[in-house]
Structure 1
Amino acid sequence: MKYLLVREDDEGEDELWGRCANVEGFFVDPVPPTREVLTFRDCTPAGPLREAVSRPGQATALLGNGYVEASDDTRAGWWDLVDAVVLAHHPSRSDPSLVDVVVGAGVNGAEGGGFARSGPARFELFLGNNVSAGRCLRVDGLLAPRQAPAKIPMELIGCEPTERLLSALRRPRKWERDWAELWALDRTGQVMASPVVGLRIDGARPSVLGGTLIDITLTDGGDDRPSPAVRPVWESWYQGVPTAPNRWAPYSSQGRSAWLGLALQAGRPRRPDRSGGVHHLDGRFVTDVPGLHCAMSEALAGPGGYFGRGLDAFRDCLCGGFGLTPPFTLIWHDADIARQAPAAAVSAAEGLPSYAEEIVQVLEGAGVTVVLA
């Protein structure tokens, strides 16, 4: 059995509801949000947006994914932007020193309690690695009502249900906590991931695998499922925690991010923290931010290990609990590759350090001796 359906009982303890041989619909891409046109009014652009609106003779510019944060004196709301593109821009009519920017994007939101403008509000655009792209006085079209994205079902194949699941099948009802976790196991039985799934059952039938097994359709397979694009990463980890270096290197940025998520879940048995020693970072494949963290984790925690997947998480790991604390020495081999790779040189804003340089600053600030080789 490769999957376990697990739900918390009334005391907060994990309770097994069923074992499943396989799952159809475990790897899915979310339904993309509807594309919309938003107009950011009276903007003071910064970083990527300032660069986009200052390019002469260029009608459009790609901004990528990000989000808009809106706030007033009492509340705040957030809207995700997917694949945002600058369609047009021109000086503001109210103040020529400001800019009106027309953006096309898929829009999800609002989150954070349902922001509703009840007075003067502030809007700020963030892109990429939480990089501020400027502030605006309003965003035309942003506060329009939106339908929630469609739920994508999931098929549990070849299930051995426990009595709890059989009871739910006999007498379907709305649960107070209408969710469970689906534990995905590697071949050794270790949990690789535990995404949340909806517990509303759309149907059950004798399994296509035969015997006394059953197949179950869940109305909502949840939002935590991995993309089909990272299935090869999961297949690699299914064999067990990797023990050879640089197994992550052939994958795309998306695959490397998935690698870090599986490394975090694997959470090798905690060893007492140690300090000192010389650690070597193989920089040959550090061509993007996830690759930097894959290489760093491998240097400090070994192949398949985890030592952060973002600046905040990396800082937390340096504070202890992950087997290694400063002071120690890190020799970063082929460091020029990270400094020169466009995908790795993520700047917070013009004139500020790149992401790789920020990592070095965090290390040195924590008492690590960094040697760029």
Structure 2
Amino acid sequence: MSFPLRWRLLDEGTGATIIDCTDIEGLFVDRVFPREPLYERYTLLSCAPSGPLLAAIDGTGPTWFGNFVVEGAHVPGRPASERCEDQCRECFENTEELLDVRVVGHRPARDGSGLLDIDLEGHRRDDDNNRGGTIAPPVVGYRLFAWSTANGSSEETPAGGCRDIAGLFHQRPDIWPPGPPLTLLGCRRRLSGSFEAELAHVRVDGTAHTMGWGQRVIGSVVATRPSTLGDDLVDVMLDARIPEPMATNDRPLWDMWRAGGPAEPNLWAKLDRSDRYLWVRAAAVHRSHAPDKPAGTVSHLDGRYVTDFDAFFCAIGEAVNGPGGWFGGDLFWLHENAATGDGGATPGFRMIWHNSEVARTHLVPGYDRKSWLPAVTFDDLVRYLTEDGVQLELR
């Protein structure tokens, strides 16, 4: 029996094929990723609150204020009154962002300073600084800033300062822990030595689509064994792990794209938002890179199922490039494709957004607990598209 080759390792430096294989044990795992963040309690010690933090304590403002930035007041040797106005390395490395934060309590500071100890609940942005949040930076006190989310926009507002922060710097579980050691199953030749490789998904037509940084393979061959997939095939065991493995129940999505992609539009509509995000990601990996359609081409966006941010990208991808098409997955790529092209549509194209009232109803101001930022609204998307030259008609 002949088994299809589904995956390919490409040398990161040259792009040359290192090896093809039928499957990869350790790429799909029985977990859900990324893991939901842990909500934690932090205490601002000897704090002098101001602005929205003071309002949360005295009852004149809400106790919830979205995101919260703590910035090292100064490093030893720098005057305490001096704040670097540029985005210097020291400032960046001594800053932490807390997400979805609310005030849950306060009391007089235990040090007798006349200031307050203030309890917050929220969680730390996992890709921020200070050795992954495990080690407190070498600073003397912290400046505090709240990110206002009023009217759907973000604005940094000073919120006072504190001597120290309890509960922030400690070891945490990985939000997206790496997978187990990999085994390349059903390889047609042996492999040895060490390598740094990009992983590519091979479709039935033989085209290979690189997966991205989170699925790179860096390591060495540990052992080789005969494969149960065929007498002339081998399995290659590695000490490498996938940095961001995929969940087993996402495998049918990749199998569909391997077989040629979605055969009709709106197959994503029955998915929840997390899986719609994965749909857009798969569409990005498998995009065709065909020339932009001629000027004057009209795209029709089916808006019946645009009930969240990721659904919009599923729908606009299919409006421009057909079932399973991609036209960006975030605001950066939406702008790049609409304003500069190379996404399937010549800039200045006309798009008719059918059933736009669905998105107007669902994409409203608020706090988005997927991006941990103010929600992107229907009005935002309309403004971004029109500012980038799209001739948008709402129906």
Q: With structure 2 as the length reference, what TM-score do the two structures score? A: 0.70
Partner of 1:355: 377
Distance change >3 Å, CA 232–CA 365, structure 1 → 2: same
Partner of 1:189: 206
Structure 1 residue 240 displacement after superposition:
1.0
Question: Mean alpha-carbon deviation: is it higher for 257-266 or for 71-80?
Answer: 71-80
Distance of 1:89 and 1:229 partners within structure 2: 38
Out of 229, 234, 250, the residue aligned to residue 230 of structure 1 is 250
Partner of 1:156: 184
Cα offsets for 1:305-363 (capped at 9, x unmatched): 2111111110111122223234333221111211222xx335479xx985221110011
Distance of 1:297 and 1:366 partners within structure 2: 16
Partner of 1:3: 7
- The answer to whether the 8 Å contact 2:201/2:258 transfers is no
Distance change >3 Å, CA 160–CA 43, structure 1 → 2: farther
Q: Which amino acid aligns with 1:226?
A: M
Out of 103, 126, 139, the residue aligned to residue 121 of structure 2 is 103
SS of equivalent to 2:22: strand
- The answer to whether the 8 Å contact 2:186/2:234 transfers is yes
- The aligned runs of 1:257-272 (5 Å cut-off) are 257-272=277-292
- The answer to whether the 8 Å contact 1:229/1:255 transfers is no
Question: Mean alpha-carbon deviation: is it higher for 235-244 or for 86-95?
Answer: 86-95
- The answer to whether the 8 Å contact 1:79/1:111 transfers is yes
Partner of 2:334: 314
Distance change >3 Å, CA 39–CA 106, structure 1 → 2: closer
Pairing 1:327–2:355 present: no
Pairing 1:89–2:107 present: no
Distance of 2:184 and 2:309 partners within structure 1: 35
Distance change >3 Å, CA 306–CA 151, structure 1 → 2: closer
SS of equivalent to 2:205: coil
Partner of 1:14: 15
SS of equivalent to 1:284: coil
Out of 301, 310, 316, the residue aligned to residue 321 of structure 2 is 301
For these two proteins, the number of residue pairs brought into alignment is 343
Q: Which amino acid aligns with 1:340?
A: T
Out of 332, 336, 341, the residue aligned to residue 357 of structure 2 is 336
Structure 1 residue 259 displacement after superposition:
1.6
Distance of 2:220 and 2:301 partners within structure 1: 47
Distance of 1:127 and 1:237 partners within structure 2: 41
Partner of 2:270: 250
Q: Which amino acid aligns with 1:336?
A: E
Partner of 2:78: none
Q: Which amino acid aligns with 1:284?
A: R
Distance of 2:7 and 2:117 partners within structure 1: 52
Distance of 1:147 and 1:286 partners within structure 2: 34
Larger Rg: 2
Structure 1 residue 230 displacement after superposition:
2.5
Structure 1 residue 283 displacement after superposition:
0.5
SS of equivalent to 2:264: coil
Pairing 1:144–2:131 present: no
% identity of equivalent residues = 25
- The answer to whether the 8 Å contact 1:79/1:109 transfers is no
Distance of 2:257 and 2:148 partners within structure 1: 31
Distance change >3 Å, CA 131–CA 192, structure 1 → 2: farther
Distance change >3 Å, CA 328–CA 33, structure 1 → 2: closer
Cα offsets for 1:54-77 (capped at 9, x unmatched): 779xxxx9x8xx896756642324
Distance change >3 Å, CA 359–CA 232, structure 1 → 2: same
Give 5+ residue unaligned stretches, structure 2: 75-83, 85-89, 369-373
Distance of 1:336 and 1:33 partners within structure 2: 31
Pairing 1:241–2:261 present: yes
Distance of 1:347 and 1:140 partners within structure 2: 29
- The answer to whether the 8 Å contact 1:274/1:324 transfers is yes
Q: Which amino acid aligns with 1:160?
A: R
Distance of 2:327 and 2:298 partners within structure 1: 16
RMSD between aligned residues: 4.3
Q: With structure 1 as the length reference, what TM-score do the two structures score? A: 0.74
Question: Mean alpha-carbon deviation: is it higher for 86-95 or for 195-204?
Answer: 86-95
Structure 1 residue 19 displacement after superposition:
1.6
Question: Mean alpha-carbon deviation: is it higher for 32-41 or for 87-96?
Answer: 87-96
Question: Mean alpha-carbon deviation: is it higher for 120-129 or for 136-145?
Answer: 120-129
Partner of 1:367: 389
Structure 1 residue 90 displacement after superposition:
2.9
Structure 1 residue 133 displacement after superposition:
8.8
